[in-house]
Structure formats: structure tokens, C-alpha cells
Amino acid sequence: MVELGIPVVGGSVLLADPRGYCAGVDRAVITVEKALDLYGAPVYVRKQIVHNKHVVHNLAARGAVFVEELDEVPEGAIVVFSAHGVSPAVHEQAAERRLKTIDATCPLVTKVHHEARRFAKDGYHILLIGHDGHEEVEGTAGEAPESITLVERPEDVDLLDFPEDAKLSWLSQTTLSVDETMETVRRLRERFPQLEDPPSDDICYATQNRQVAVKEIAAKSDLVIVVGSSNSSNSVRLVEVALDAGAKAAYRIDDVSEFDPAWLDGVERVGVTSGASVPDDLVQDVLAYLATHGHPDADAVRTADESLTFALPPELRKDLKRAGA
Ligand code: SF4
């Protein structure tokens, strides 16, 4: 049995656990790798498969071609949809262009799509808490565009204008700050007491676990380093959560080359974590850098066990089975 919330002793580096890859990212990356093995290059991928520039770079080197929209994909070609999900309009466009699609949408995002469809069918107007322009939000909103209003932050609640008796529900992006989202919901409920909750949390287990872990290390660290790309919502949230939890400073870096040695001036303890789309070798590079810059001892601080895995997309599994792979 693993002890959780281990008391911290000694080390000058606190390494958050869980950190890095979640089940949805792992599945999406393996999907592209297996598609490349099975069908050969090029395999097209709509948008970044996950929001990490190193992952995208490595897959591109193996023959994945990343496109923004489907009109960049030749008719009849193979295209993978990213972990963030797509709207029904994108599925329709793919069918029109006779593309062979492999849907690597994270099952936890798909769950939110189902909730959006169900609420809309039942006559609710959905207040979707999320970031404007994020691919996941575009995909979810596309499930019921006439029935969804985006709410980006708690202050936005004051701007909403619905009749007293409006049938309202809320959903959220999976990678938000848990605390800020709960504050938005609190304000929504204050204004609209009839607000219907989703059947379960939309902020996913991985986002929640990484925020709990970073809170644990941030309160004991002078500096927190979050490894993750700038377009990774959950990585950017980890910096905010670390600062809110008491870290004196927190920075996000894509990799160790962005580490500014001046950040270590006067620092006794460094917390390290990474977003859900970050391969752990990038974190190990940071630990190696810290070891040569006065911080050789790292203690892992585990706040949750993660064992969730997702099966590969069924359309890919079928072809793998047929090929005996
Ligand atoms: Fe799925 Fe959560 Fe990972 Fe996003 S962060 S891919 S929702 S498990």
C-alpha cells in the first residue's frame, strides 16, 4: 500500500507526483505512433495532437503532418483528431472529404460532449466555463452551438442576462483551475439558484491531481518550475495554482534550455512539476540541471496514485487486429 501525502524531509528539490502524462495524452500519442507504424507516413493530425511542442516535433519527425483544418488534408487520406476533441461539423467535413478518421479525443472530453448534447436535448441552456478559442471549448460548444454560452471567469457571471426562470445548466473545460471554476459556479448559483449541475466533475482527474500535488510542494518551495508548453491550459494553470498556494515564484518552461539561473538566487527549495502533456524526460533534464546548480537532492511528494488507462480508438484497434499487429 502506497502512503499518500508523505511528510517532506530534507531534499532541496520537491518533485510533484502525479505530474506529466495523463491517460488521455498517453492514448493520443500512442494512437499517432501506431497509425504511423501501421499505415506509414504521412499520417495527418488535425491540430496539435496534445499541447506540447516536443511531442509534436518528435511525431512530425516520424512522418506525422500537423494541419490546422481538414481542407489541408488530401482527399481520402488518414487523419487523426487530437485529444482535445472536435465538433460534429468537423466530423461532417471529414466525411465529405472521404477522409479516414481516427478519433483520439480523450474519453473524458467525449463525456463532456455527451453531457452537452443531453442538456441541450432536455431544453437547458448551458453555461460552459472555459477559455475562448481553446480547441476543447470549440469542440464542446459545437455540439449545441445555439444552447451554449461561454463563461471565461467568475467576473463574467455579472454580464449574463437570462430570465429568472431560465432552464440553465453548467459544464466546464477539463483543464481549468478547480478553485477558480468552483468560484465561477458559486457565483452562477448565486445569480441563478435553479442552475443544474453536470452529473459528474468535468475537470478531469489528471488536472485535479496535478493541482493538488503542486499545492503540496508550492507551500514548501521558494521557487516552483512547471514544465509545459505555453498553449497547455493545465500547465499554465499549475503556475497560477502554485503562486496561489504560497510559492514565492513560479515559472513555466518548455524545457531546461529556458531555465534562467538567476531564478535560483537565494532559493533554498525548488518545487518541480509538469503538465499532463509533458514527457518525463523533460522533467529529468530539469532535475539534472538543478543537481549541477546546488540542488542535488530530490524528494518525490506523492499525493495520489494514478492507474487509469484508456483503450486505443476502436477504428485503430480494428485495423491493428486485422494486420495482426
Ligand atoms: Fe483527458 Fe484530462 Fe488528459 Fe485532457 S488532461 S487528455 S481530459 S485525462
* pLDDT reported for residue 90: 98
Q: Which of 255, 254, 251 is nearest to 271 (CA)?
A: 251
CB 208 within 8 A of CB 254: no
* pLDDT reported for residue 11: 60
- Can you tell me which atom of ligand 1 is nearest the CA of 50? 6
- Can you tell me which atom of ligand 1 is nearest the CA of 204? 2
CA distances to 28, 152, 232, 243, 255 from 129, rounded to whole Å, are 24, 6, 17, 22, 30
The shares of helix, strand and coil residues in the chain, as percent rounded to the nearest 5, are 40, 15, 40
Residue of the CA atom closest to atom 8 of ligand 1? 24
Quote the crossing angle between the two packed helices 205-218 and 233-244, to the nearest 10°. Answer: 30
- Cβ 174 under 6 angstroms from ligand 1: yes
138 among known catalytic residues: no
Cα–Cα distance between 258 and 296 in angstroms, integer?
Answer: 19
Cα–Cα distance between 211 and 186 in angstroms, integer?
Answer: 20
Cross-strand partners of 323? none
Ligand 1 geometric centre to CA of 23 (Å): 7
List the chain residues with pLDDT less than 50.
Answer: 1-3, 5-9
- Cβ 109 under 6 angstroms from ligand 1: yes
- Cβ 49 under 6 angstroms from ligand 1: no
* pLDDT reported for residue 325: 80
Ligand 1 geometric centre to CA of 211 (Å): 13
Ligand 1 geometric centre to CA of 22 (Å): 6
**The whole model's pTM is what?**
0.94
- Cβ 175 under 6 angstroms from ligand 1: yes
Dump pLDDT digits (tens) for 93-145.
Answer: 999 999 999 999 999 999 999 999 999 999 999 999 999 999 999 999 999 99
What strands lie across the sheet with 223-227, from one edge to the other?
A: 249-253, 223-227, 270-274, 13-17, 298-302
- Can you tell me which atom of ligand 1 is nearest the CA of 234? 5
Three-state DSSP at 249 gives: strand
Residue of the CA atom closest to atom 1 of ligand 1? 24
Cα–Cα distance between 34 and 29 in angstroms, integer?
Answer: 9
**Mutation pick for ligand 1 pocket among 48, 81, 105, 207 (CB with most ligand atoms within 8 Å):** 207
Three-state DSSP at 205 gives: helix
The label of the residue with cell 496534445 reads: 50
Dump pLDDT digits (tens) for 92-105.
Answer: 999 999 999 999 99
- Cβ 83 under 6 angstroms from ligand 1: yes
By DSSP bridging, strand 148-151 and strand 43-46 are unpaired
